[in-house]
């Protein structure tokens, strides 16, 4: 009798202990996320606040707010450093590369998702291998190819490289997403007399928009921030990208840090704005279909 009474007294404490444990885990995870957010945002904070300072103030107080906010660094970068031309070059490279990655990747994923054979599996595996091999190991061969095709010192030399970088990831994400679409949609479309290309453009593309946004943002950042291939392929001033133009402001003995930070701040704005506009589609694509299988 005494043992059963003690058991009854201990039973209500178990859910309370479990809830306390869960609450402690939530508190720990939130504290960890806050700390990680601070670590991630601190460089952005340093970049932005120092872009509004003079060189002397940057060295005197790099972590504090500007004593006198000034836009001189930005106006000077746009006026003297020919920033608008570099920005146009970077924007052209990103837009063309992303369009081709999304177009070719979605078409190839649509074909592989409905072509069930050993050959399609081998092709898919061969394409996915491209995600494991860094393209920079082929820099010398790529340089020889661009020279042979006469594409050096032009933006055309960057398009095939960036498209080749993004195609494997695009096919991997989009194929898994298209696999998750119900077969009833295709059957109903075939009954209505729609061809495969019409099904792709009218049904598949609207349904995979979250996955397309995921692929676009995933490839946008490395293409926009790439310095390696523009540095190797382009020497002509009129064809340089934003990050390649920043190297002009870094001298051997002195660096114009106010202008460098101003140009980097301006170059980061398009990526941040695009992510904010497409964040809902990006998160939806990650959670819905991009992590399947």
Same domain, 26 and 134: no
Domain that holds residue 42: 2-51
Mean pLDDT across the chain? 80
pLDDT digits (tens, 9 = 90+) for 119-134: 878 888 888 887 788 8
Domain contains 65 = no
Top-confidence residue, 128 or 21:
128
Tell which of 51, 68, 86 closes a domain: 51
| CATH code for the domain in which residue 118 is found | 1.10.3720.10
Per-residue pLDDT at 8: 47
Domain contains 57 = no
Same domain, 103 and 148: yes
Helix, strand, coil distribution of the chain in percent, nearest 5: 80, 0, 20
Asked if residues 289 and 211 have their Cβ atoms less than 8 Å apart, the reply is yes
Q: How many structural domains compose the chain?
A: 2
Number of helices (H) and strands (E) in the chain: give both, helices first: 15, 0
Give, in order, the Cα–Cα distances in Å from 187 to each of 44, 182, 183, 208.
50, 9, 6, 18
Same domain, 167 and 37: no
Same domain, 18 and 138: no
Tell which of 51, 66, 87 closes a domain: 51
**What average pLDDT does this structure show over 185-201?**
80
Handedness of CA 288, 269, 277, 179 (dihedral sign): negative
Same domain, 188 and 247: yes
Same domain, 178 and 281: yes
Asked if residues 140 and 74 have their Cβ atoms less than 8 Å apart, the reply is no
Same domain, 284 and 184: yes
Same domain, 141 and 271: yes
Same domain, 178 and 109: yes
Asked if residues 67 and 57 have their Cβ atoms less than 8 Å apart, the reply is yes
Domain contains 245 = yes
Q: Which two tokens stand for residue 15?
A: 């859910």
| Residue 257 predicted with pLDDT over 80 | no
Domain contains 63 = no
Domain contains 56 = no
- The 3-state DSSP class for residue 62 equals coil
Same domain, 45 and 85: no
Give, in order, the Cα–Cα distances in Å from 20 to each of 9, 10, 12, 33, 226.
18, 16, 13, 20, 47
| Residue 4 predicted with pLDDT over 70 | no
Cα–Cα distance measured from residue 293 to residue 170, given in angstroms and rounded to the nearest whole number? 15
| Residue 107 predicted with pLDDT over 80 | yes
Predicted model pTM: 0.77
Please count the CA atoms within 13 angstroms of the CA of 242 that sit on its side-chain side: 28
Domain contains 68 = no
Domain contains 219 = yes
Domain contains 71 = no
- In percent, how much of the chain has pLDDT > 70? 83
Same domain, 22 and 119: no
Handedness of CA 206, 275, 165, 124 (dihedral sign): negative
């Amino acid at each position: 009798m005494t043992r059963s009474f003690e058991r009854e007294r201990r039973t209500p404490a178990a859910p309370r202990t479990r809830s306390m444990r869960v609450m402690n885990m939530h508190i720990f995870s939130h504290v960890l996320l806050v700390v990680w957010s601070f670590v991630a945002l601190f460089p952005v904070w340093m970049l932005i606040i120092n872009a509004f300072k003079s060189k002397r103030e940057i060295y005197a107080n790099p972590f504090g707010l500007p004593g006198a906010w000034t836009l001189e660094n930005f106006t000077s970068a746009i006026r003297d450093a020919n920033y608008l031309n570099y920005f146009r070059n970077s924007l052209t490279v990103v837009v063309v590369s992303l369009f081709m990655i999304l177009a070719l990747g979605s078409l190839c994923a649509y074909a592989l998702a409905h072509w069930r054979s050993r050959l399609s599996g081998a092709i898919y595996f061969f394409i996915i291998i491209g995600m494991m091999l860094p393209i920079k190991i082929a820099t010398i061969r790529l340089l020889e190819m661009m020279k042979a095709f006469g594409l050096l010192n032009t933006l055309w030399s960057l398009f095939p490289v960036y498209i080749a970088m993004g195609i494997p990831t695009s096919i991997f994400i989009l194929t898994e997403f298209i696999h998750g679409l119900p077969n009833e949609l295709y059957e109903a479309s075939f009954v209505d007399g729609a061809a495969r290309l019409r099904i792709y453009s009218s049904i598949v593309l609207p349904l995979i928009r979250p996955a397309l946004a995921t692929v676009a943002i995933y490839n946008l950042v490395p293409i926009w921030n790439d310095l390696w291939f523009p540095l190797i392929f382009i020497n002509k001033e009129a064809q340089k990208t934003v990050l390649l133009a920043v190297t002009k402001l870094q001298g051997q003995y002195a660096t114009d840090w106010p202008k460098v930070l101003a140009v980097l701040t301006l170059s980061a704005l398009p990526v941040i704005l695009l992510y904010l506009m497409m964040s809902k589609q990006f998160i939806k694509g990650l959670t819905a279909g991009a992590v399947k299988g």
